[in-house]
Structure 1
Amino acid sequence: MADKLTFFSEADHPEMVKAFQKAQETFKYFWRELSWEFRRIVPALDLACVKVAFLEHVSDQSAPIVEHMWINDVQFDGYVISGTLANDPNELSNVKNGDFVEVPLNQISDWLFTSGGKTYGGFTIQVIRADMDEQERIGHDQAWGLDFGDYNDVSVVFEQKEHPENLVEHPMSINMKDKLAAFIGEHPDQLTNPDEVGYTILHRETVAGNRSSVEVLLQLGADKNIKTGKGNTALDLAKQVGWEQIIPLLEN
């Protein structure tokens, strides 16, 4: 990813701080979409990346050096976001392009995915665009080769206006219910078999916010009390990520 995507911001820039907060609050939608992208035969996303605040403390400076840079190859376990740094730092010496990094959710400052040239997320980018005149915005978007739309109206899911219910449930979660049930019927061991970090399919579907998938798994006998390798139940993960529509399923 080009160096032009590196962004610096003063910590007291109020609109940028709001953008950081919005990115953290809505990151779950980024991960939900990316989790479905991993399963698609035909990819729907052209780009999926997360902006992270990287810090380095220097002995002769009172404040740390901060650079906001993008990572790709993103993974998320409900607590930690990981990926590959896609920028060359301008000042930092403790990270470099291509490094594998792991950060907590409160260290991200933005996320962005694109499909068909349209963008979702990109809150810090929209703050920058808001300070541009119309011609500057046109040039900015042409340089990216993307349609960033209205900086006052940022989408976080596909067809958000036409289908606001997509904020509650991803359409693929609903459409794939029967196939998931058939898969578990053929491979019942998948209900309990953990992956390399102790996550079962119930844990993963919970982190991704797939309510219909969680319903199917529970109906087929998934044990909601199984814990991950770090000691978290599916309910713990639902609460951590903020999937309010799934919490009641796991509390009952």
Structure 2
Amino acid sequence: MTEHVIYSVEGESQALKEAVASAQATFKFFWRELSWEARRIVKCLDMAAVKMSFVLDPDNPDIPAVENMWVTDIDFDGQTITGVLLNEPRWATEFKASDPVSLPFAALNDWMFVRDGRVYGGFTVDALRSSMAADERAEHDAAWGLDFGEPGSIELAPAADGQAPWLLTRALSTTADLQMLAALECTDHPMAVNMREKVEEGLRQYPEMISDYDDRGWLLLHREVLAGNYPVVHALLRHGADPRAANSQGQSAQALAAEAGWPRIAELLQCDMAQGGEPVASKGLPLWPIGLSLVALALAWLYYLIVVPLRAVWAGRGAEVASTWDFVGAILLLSVGVASCTGPWYIRLRLRTPQWGASRALDVGAITGAVVFAWVLHDQLLRYVSGSY
């Protein structure tokens, strides 16, 4: 997203080309807004859509090289934009309205969302409106039924109450534009600010949110980094999220932050890695006392399984050895206790191992090792007690 490859039409005006480049450069703010819209119980946006460039048959001289069409129900993975075609194609006859589509980010032509009738984004729309006469522009706006603002300026995101709107020129070419973009990158979304305490509470209550991958192979950290949600990323890191963990596309959170163009988040991730990512101290019951209790219980069980029979043999009495499954249970209980005592360190090491289905390689290896060890231990004790040596 930081490098812009643009699908353009031969003869397209410079104003439209600049508009497409600006839309790609600011798409991250659109995606941040959509990330919060998805969490709202009561939706705030009247519409959210992107305009994508569909490459047409280059051998047909009767049609343009690309057809630009609006797509809604947007999803984005940092590389590909998917959604549903909003309008009926004119030349791309293999598609029809409401068809699911998927295109690379480079095919993005424009983005726009509408809140309370006011348009945010719409760079190419502004380029077209700016070329219209006043009466033609009024007719265009009436047909849409939307407030596009003054031609020549773009509003990127809703401003907070009492704050001046985030207005930029279409080409993003002025010093004021660059300053405005830098300020907007460092300004947290209002919902991120308002939900900070709930996010912290949720991570304490459901720590599995930090380390569990979704069905697409992404951690919550990857999603929040891509969306530019600094407060949520900060909370995840404080609770032990691993910035080095890769998603299903092989991208770390650091790589996603750089690609998406969130320098403040990239710096935060870099600092976390440099400092070793000290996890936040839990305000609830710490896990290590539970872990120590499990270790003590497991050791007492193993004493009964191993030492008691050995002492009987050494005293010249007969002894029986418990079943293999008793040994497996005791060793697994000991393993869980040790993992609970180590807490965040185990989780960090776990996240650095490959994902195997719904499990991690470290989990599978630890369980397999514990079972094998318990089996061998039981076998050796049984041989000794029965006098097989």
Under a length normalisation based on structure 2, what TM-score does the superposition of the two structures give?
Answer: 0.60
Q: What residue number does 2:150 align with?
A: 150
Tell whether 2:28 aligns with 1:28: yes
Encode CA deviations 1:77-99: one digit per residue, 9 max, x unaligned. 11211111112111122322222
Structure 1 residue 11, shift from structure 2 partner:
4.5
Structure 1 residue 140, shift from structure 2 partner:
1.1
- Rate the CA distance shift 1:144–1:64 in 2: closer, same or farther, 3 A: closer
Q: What residue number does 1:228 align with?
A: 247
Tell whether 2:206 aligns with 1:192: no
Q: 3-state DSSP class of the match of 1:246?
A: helix
- Rate the CA distance shift 1:191–1:25 in 2: closer, same or farther, 3 A: same
Structure 1 residue 31, shift from structure 2 partner:
0.5
- Rate the CA distance shift 1:144–1:12 in 2: closer, same or farther, 3 A: closer
Alignment of 1:121-160 (within 5 A): 121-159=121-159
Contiguous gaps of at least 5 residues in structure 2 = 1-7, 167-182, 272-389
Contact 1:119 1:146 in 2 (8 A): yes
Q: 3-state DSSP class of the match of 1:154?
A: strand
Contact 2:155 2:165 in 1 (8 A): no
Contact 2:49 2:74 in 1 (8 A): yes
Which deviates further from its counterpart, 129-138 or 201-210?
Answer: 129-138
Amino acid at match of 2:37: E
CA distance in 2, matches of 1:60, 1:183: 56
Structure 1 residue 224, shift from structure 2 partner:
1.1
CA RMSD of aligned residues (A): 2.0
Contiguous gaps of at least 5 residues in structure 1 = 1-7
CA distance in 1, matches of 2:11, 2:113: 25
CA distance in 2, matches of 1:134, 1:118: 19
Which deviates further from its counterpart, 51-60 or 203-212?
Answer: 51-60
Q: What residue number does 2:81 align with?
A: 81
CA distance in 2, matches of 1:250, 1:117: 37
Q: What residue number does 2:261 align with?
A: 242
Q: 3-state DSSP class of the match of 2:18?
A: helix
Count of aligned residue pairs for this structure pair: 245
- Rate the CA distance shift 1:121–1:58 in 2: closer, same or farther, 3 A: same
Q: 3-state DSSP class of the match of 2:129?
A: helix
Contact 1:65 1:91 in 2 (8 A): no
Alignment of 1:89-100 (within 5 A): 89-100=89-100
Structure 1 residue 162, shift from structure 2 partner:
2.2
Amino acid at match of 1:32: R
Q: 3-state DSSP class of the match of 1:232?
A: coil
- Rate the CA distance shift 1:122–1:210 in 2: closer, same or farther, 3 A: same
More helix by share: 2
Structure 1 residue 12, shift from structure 2 partner:
3.4
Amino acid at match of 2:19: A
CA distance in 1, matches of 2:216, 2:210: 15
Contact 2:196 2:231 in 1 (8 A): yes
CA distance in 1, matches of 2:37, 2:10: 34
CA distance in 2, matches of 1:33, 1:68: 23
The higher-RCO structure (CA 8 Å, 6+ apart) is: 1
Under a length normalisation based on structure 1, what TM-score does the superposition of the two structures give?
Answer: 0.91
Percentage of pairs with the same residue: 39
Encode CA deviations 1:103-142: one digit per residue, 9 max, x unaligned. 2221111001000010000111111111112222211111
- Rate the CA distance shift 1:144–1:163 in 2: closer, same or farther, 3 A: closer
Structure 1 residue 14, shift from structure 2 partner:
0.4
Runs of 4+ off more than 4 Å: 8-11, 60-64, 163-167
CA distance in 1, matches of 2:67, 2:131: 21
- Rate the CA distance shift 1:77–1:11 in 2: closer, same or farther, 3 A: farther
Q: 3-state DSSP class of the match of 1:46?
A: strand
Contact 2:126 2:153 in 1 (8 A): no
CA distance in 2, matches of 1:145, 1:225: 47
CA distance in 1, matches of 2:55, 2:262: 30
Tell whether 2:198 aligns with 1:179: yes
Structure 1 residue 65, shift from structure 2 partner:
3.2
Q: What residue number does 2:72 align with?
A: 72
Q: What residue number does 1:4 align with?
A: none
- Rate the CA distance shift 1:59–1:137 in 2: closer, same or farther, 3 A: closer
